[in-house]
Every structure is written in C-alpha cells, then in structure tokens.
C-alpha cells in the first residue's frame, strides 16, 4: 500500500493487498480505512508504525491484530519512507505480511488480561462481534467501556464503517431529535445529518445511557424496535442502518427500577449485556495492564517497569480502575530518573472516599446532611440542573428551592460559628 504522508491517503494498492482485504477501490481512503478500521490506529488502541517512521524518517515496523476475510489475523506491518531527489518524503510504502491466524479470545486489541474474568469477558465480546444485536456494556467508571465497544465494532462485519460515539449528557431533550435523527431542508434551512445517519452501516455508541432524558430513551427504543427513524421535517422515515451499543453503570433492570432507564429500552437490552468487572476483582490483570501502559509511553516500547513496582501496584485498591492505573503509570514516568519505573517512582495511592456509616461516625442533624449532599451534588454533577433534578427524583423548581435554602443555612452556620465538629463531619461526608 502506497500512502501520501500529507493526509495519510492511499495512492495505490497491489493485487495481493486486494486478495486479503477485498477487491474495492482503496485509492483516496485513509490508510486505516483501507485496513477496515473506522478510525486512526491510536483511537482504535493500536500502535502506528507510521508515527515512528515519520519521526525518524527511517523504516519502522510492528504487529497489529486485524479483522480481515471474516477472521482475526495477526499482521506484521513494515513502513518505509519514499524520498524525492530533493530529500522530500513523497510517499511511504506499507508492506503487510501475514503472521498467523488467531483463536477466539486472543484478539486483545488493546484489551489485556490473564484472569478468568477477563477471558470470559473476551468470549462475550467475540460473541457480540459475530452478531448485529444492540449491546449494553455495564461497569464502573474508568474500565474503558467505550474501548470494549470499539473492540466489538472493529472485529465485526461493520469494521470498515464509522464508529460514532456520543456522551449522553451532550444529548439534551430539546435538541435530541436534530442531533440523533437529523433534519431535512425546510424553508431555506440547510439539511443536517444526524448521528444515526452518520453511523450508517456502522455503530452508534452512547456513553452513560442512563443520563439520557427518559423521553429520548423512549424514542430511541422505538427506533430500535421498528428499524426506522424520522429526521425533523422528513416526509418519510429513514431506515436505521446502524448497530446500537451503549455503556451504563448498572444492569438495565436496576436502572429501570430506579426510574433512570425507559422500561421498553431496558427490556430490549436486558439479555444483551456485557459486564466488565472492576480491576480490584481481577488483580491478576493489573501487572499485564501496567506493562501495556508502560509500552505505550512515548517514545513507544522504550520504558520498562520493575517487578517490585508491579507488586506495589497489585496491592492498591484502584477505585478509578484502569484509567487510574494508566494515570499512575504516566505520573510515575515523569518522576522516574531513567527509562525504568521503580516502586519509589510511584505516586501515593489515592484516598478512598470518606465513608458515611462507620463505627466512629458522629450523628448529625438530617437537615444538615441533606444540605451538604445537595451542595455536593450541584458541584460534582456535570449536566444541567434539570438533569440533576431528574436524577435526584424531584422537579427542577423543588431542587432550586432546596438548593437556595441549603446555601442560606450553610452561610448562616458559617457566620455564626455553628457546631464545628458537626460541620467538619458533614464536610468530610
């Protein structure tokens, strides 16, 4: 495959390439699109040999696991720059050599682990990749649920089509139809494709599904059930030619019982759930994950980590899961005196959140506890006040009134001194 460095578009491919990846017209596509990827290598949790080649202006190579010919295959990719007479790089030549086929569960695609829980998760991912049903990926924050969704997409027959990801909090109830379903040209207004159209043939992924307003969830359920959506101003419905995937913090039944997930959508997703266990429940995966994050430190494959550091990492609680582990590795690399990360380079472990009910806790007035919780929720919640009111199970007007009263009471307590011990406990909670 001959690639133009200015925009990473394909100039030409040979017959052998077409035998592996299909007899399509690859010219003009980006190099990752020709390899049946929906996005560049970094976004798909893959190494990019071209980056190292562009940096050093010399030959570079690495291994990648690709979905090709309806199977999972490992390739060795060799990238060599092609220079003009004046020393300007005009192309790079990408040579792709088949290494060997992969068994089910071996396509890690950035997903690293050795535990039984990880192997079961990879089996569930491989089964999901073989189907086109909607999928809900459930787990705590920091587990890389979007990356698992990308793994499903990138190893499915939809791999060459777009993977469109959107956080649920970006979809407001007032703009949901235009954003998701798009709008036709009306009275001089330009037509705008929605995310469902942009994901055509590929996958639409919604992050934190429970954060969607319930009416939007109900409309989404109808689209999935009927297979059609209605852009604003459209005379006829459009076919929903995308696969739906989403992430959530809890199982659909639990979210529906809490009033945070539409009953129809919960029923649709109930038997199509992939659960990702927290990192503390699969400690055998901490060391291989840490090694992978160390390999990803720039420049790639130049840093190492000692066994003592890995043992220290394995003893930590990891409330932030894999994201916290990656951030810890990155911070340790900044403190390291050389290219090897030692136990002394590791930053202090993050403190667990304060516990509300403990043997040493003092009783505080219920009103004060509610005031502190409301003010904390207002500070920490990233959505609108209307969305916060819905999560707390009250109207927006009631929330506004209670927040105003809480601010007045807390301000009066600070001005008058109040019970310092009580205030400190409430603040810690």
Rounded CA-CA distance 268/291 in Å is 38
Query: Residues 257-277: pLDDT tens digits?
Result: 999 999 999 999 999 999 999
pLDDT tens digits for range 402-423: 988 888 887 666 555 544 444 4
The answer to whether 386 touches 396, Cβ cutoff 8 Å, is: yes
Question: What is the Cα–Cα distance from 227 to 267, expressed in whole angstroms?
Answer: 16
| Three-state secondary structure call for residue 405 | helix
How high is the mean pLDDT of the chain?
83
Contact (Cβ atoms closer than 8 angstroms) between residue 181 and residue 229:
yes
Q: What is the pLDDT of residues 239-261, one digit of tens each?
A: 999 999 999 999 999 999 999 99
What is the pLDDT, as a whole number, of residue 43?
67
Domain range list for the chain = 2-101, 116-275, 282-345, 366-428
Query: What is the pLDDT at residue 34?
Result: 78
Please, what's the largest Cα pairwise distance for the chain? Answer: 82
CATH number for the segment(s) 2-101: 3.30.450.20
Torsion of CA 170, 172, 174, 178, to 10 degrees: 40
User: Among 225, 295, 213, which residue's Cα sits nearest to residue 260?
Assistant: 213
Over range 357-364, report the average pLDDT. 63
Question: What is residue 49's predicted lDDT score, i.e. its pLDDT?
Answer: 80
Average pLDDT over residues 228-237: 89
- Specify the 3-state DSSP secondary structure of 95: strand
CA separation, residue 30 to residues 13, 34, 398 (Å): 12, 7, 52
For residue 52, what pLDDT is reported? 81
CATH topology of domain 282-345: Helicase, Ruva Protein; domain 3 (1.10.8)
User: Does residue 66 surpass a pLDDT of 80?
Assistant: no
What share of the chain in percent tops pLDDT 90? 43
Range with top average pLDDT, 196-205, 354-363, 390-399, 400-409: 196-205
**Are the CB atoms for 390 and 383 separated by under 8 Å?**
no
Distance CA 141, CA 136 (A): 14
Q: Would you say 65 and 103 are in contact if contact means Cβ atoms under 8 Å apart?
A: no
Architecture of domain 116-275: 3-Layer(aba) Sandwich (3.40)
Count CA atoms within 13 Å of residue 253 on its CB side.
4
Res. 44: pLDDT tops 70:
no
Supply the pLDDT for residue 51.
81
Q: What is the pLDDT of residue 347?
A: 92
Tens-place pLDDT, residues 8-42? 899 999 988 877 666 667 788 888 877 766 667 76
């Amino acid at each position: 495959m001959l690639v133009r460095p200015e925009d990473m578009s394909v100039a030409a491919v040979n017959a052998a390439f077409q035998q592996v990846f299909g007899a399509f017209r690859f010219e003009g596509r980006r190099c990752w699109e020709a390899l049946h990827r929906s996005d560049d290598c970094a976004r798909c949790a893959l190494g990019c040999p071209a980056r190292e080649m562009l940096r050093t202006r010399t030959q570079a190579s690495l291994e990648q696991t690709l979905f090709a010919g309806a199977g999972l295959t490992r390739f060795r990719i060799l990238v060599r720059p092609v220079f003009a007479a004046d020393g300007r790089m005009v192309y790079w030549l990408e040579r792709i050599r088949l290494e060997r086929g992969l068994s089910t569960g071996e396509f890690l695609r950035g997903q690293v682990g050795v535990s039984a829980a990880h192997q079961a998760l990879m089996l569930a991912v491989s089964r999901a990749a073989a189907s086109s049903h909607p999928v809900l990926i459930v787990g705590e924050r920091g587990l890389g649920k979007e990356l698992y969704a990308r793994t499903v997409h990138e190893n499915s027959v939809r791999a060459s089509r777009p993977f469109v990801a959107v956080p649920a909090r970006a979809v407001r109830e007032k703009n949901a139809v235009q954003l998701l379903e798009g709008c036709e040209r009306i009275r001089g207004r330009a037509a705008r494709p929605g995310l469902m159209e942009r994901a055509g043939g590929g996958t639409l992924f919604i992050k934190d599904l429970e954060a969607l307003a319930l009416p939007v969830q109900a409309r989404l359920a109808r689209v999935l059930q009927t297979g059609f959506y209605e852009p604003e101003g459209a005379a006829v419905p459009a076919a929903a030619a995308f696969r739906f995937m989403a992430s959530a913090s809890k199982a659909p039944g639990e979210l529906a019982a809490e009033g945070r997930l539409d009953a129809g959508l919960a029923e649709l997703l109930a038997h199509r759930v992939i659960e990702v266990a927290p990192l503390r429940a699969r400690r055998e995966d901490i060391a291989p994950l840490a090694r992978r994050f160390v390999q990803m430190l720039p420049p790639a494959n130049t840093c190492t980590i000692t066994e003592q550091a890995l043992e220290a990492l394995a003893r930590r609680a990891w409330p932030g899961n894999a994201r916290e582990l990656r951030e810890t590795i990155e911070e340790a690399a900044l403190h390291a005196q050389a290219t090897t990360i030692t136990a002394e380079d590791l930053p202090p472990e993050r403190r667990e959140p304060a516990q509300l009910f403990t043997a040493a806790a003092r009783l505080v007035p219920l009103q004060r506890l509610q005031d502190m919780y409301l003010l904390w929720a207002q500070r920490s919640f990233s959505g609108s006040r209307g969305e916060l009111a819905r999560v707390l199970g009250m109207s927006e007007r009631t929330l506004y009134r209670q927040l105003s009263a809480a601010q007045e009471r807390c301000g009066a307590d600070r001005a008058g001194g109040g019970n310092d011990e009580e205030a400190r406990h409430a603040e810690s909670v």
